[in-house]
Structure 1
Amino acid sequence: MPTGWFYRLKAAQRDLITRCGGIKRSAEIASLSQSQMGRFNNDGDPELMPLPAVLMLEHECAAPLVTAIMAELNGRRLADNVDAAELANASIMASHAEVVVQAGELMAKGAMAFADGRLTPSEAMGIDRQAASLERAISDLRHAAANARAHGLSVVGGAK
């Protein structure tokens, strides 16, 4: 039964128990027996901590140790809460950069297509596809601009 993911979870459980003050204190916090908490702390025991116990202990030590491993095992990662203004700033800056990239690609596609003085159906289709990509990027930028306007925008290192 045990594989790499199992040992990652067991290690996170051990760290969580340690941060909460050891087996006895963790058992009290999670309303479980000391022997059960001891099994959660033992690499050789196949028992994993129930979710309510994980949540109570993570809350106690203010560290999502087991939750972070569960997220990682599912190809995700946890992020700290970021305020809406920071998200709006990052979004509009990334969206603007994407518009610039897409516009550049459209100009390059057009320049290559027009270089020989003729436009083939295939080249026209390529220009249309790139124009559609630029259109999507512009739409995303407009959405990001509206969010930035709603939450306020501050440019790091801007003029004072």
Structure 2
Amino acid sequence: MSVESYLKKHSEALVKDVGIEASCALTGKSKATLGRYYSEQDEHDDRFMPIDVVAALEGAARFPHVTSALADLRGITLSYDAEKRNSASGGVNADVVALAQRFAMLMAEYNQAIGDGVISGNEARRLLRETLAIQQVLLDMKLNLEEEAG
């Protein structure tokens, strides 16, 4: 998949996450204009969503689709967890427990997903969510260990 196609797919996911009507209201753009930003048709090859439109939509979305795609293209891993902003850490022991719990959830999701021998798109997204949750726990653990190491 080309970079252009990759960005267009994530732009489309962002608009669909927010909803087309809500996206129009947030950005002041028409449905047709938003559609052109992620259209794969040749006449729209050079059209991409402006950064102010991305910012407005990602502010309302459940996930920063375009930001995540841009980071992925650069080999950067983002940590996104809207539920844990400014939450207090329970320390390394709590992190170990959380890691074990998250790993168990990942294995349960995997077991369910592979049951029919094929991992569907929805199953892959659930596995990805659990993988990202494990990544967040590991990051918290790393920070707690660094703090304890002084």
Cα RMSD over matched residues?
Answer: 3.0
1:41 and 2:38 are equivalent in the alignment = yes
1:17–1:41 Cα contact (<8 Å) kept: no
How far the C-alpha of 1:8 sits from its partner, in A, is: 0.7
1:89 and 2:86 are equivalent in the alignment = no
Regions of 4+ moved over 4 Å: 81-84
Which residue number corresponds to residue 10 of structure 1?
A: 8
Which residue number corresponds to residue 67 of structure 1?
A: 67
Q: Deviations over 1:40-77 (max 9, x none)?
A: 13122121101111111111122100100000111102
1:32 and 2:46 are equivalent in the alignment = no
1:7-156 superposed matches below 5 A: 7-22=5-20, 24-44=21-41, 45=44, 46-81=46-81, 83=87, 85=89, 89=92, 144-145=147-148
Structure 2: how far apart are the matches of 1:73 and 1:33?
28
Structure 2: how far apart are the matches of 1:27 and 1:145?
49
Gaps of 5+ in 2: 97-144
Gaps of 5+ in 1: 94-141, 148-160
- Which residue type is aligned with residue 7 of structure 1? S
- Which residue type is aligned with residue 89 of structure 1? V
Structure 2: how far apart are the matches of 1:143 and 1:78?
20
Match of 1:85, SS state, is: coil
Structure 1: how far apart are the matches of 2:23 and 2:49?
11
1:12–1:69 Cα contact (<8 Å) kept: yes
1:13–1:41 Cα contact (<8 Å) kept: yes
Structure 1: how far apart are the matches of 2:76 and 2:89?
24
- Identity score, percent: 24
1:20–1:61 Cα contact (<8 Å) kept: yes
Which residue number corresponds to residue 139 of structure 1?
A: none
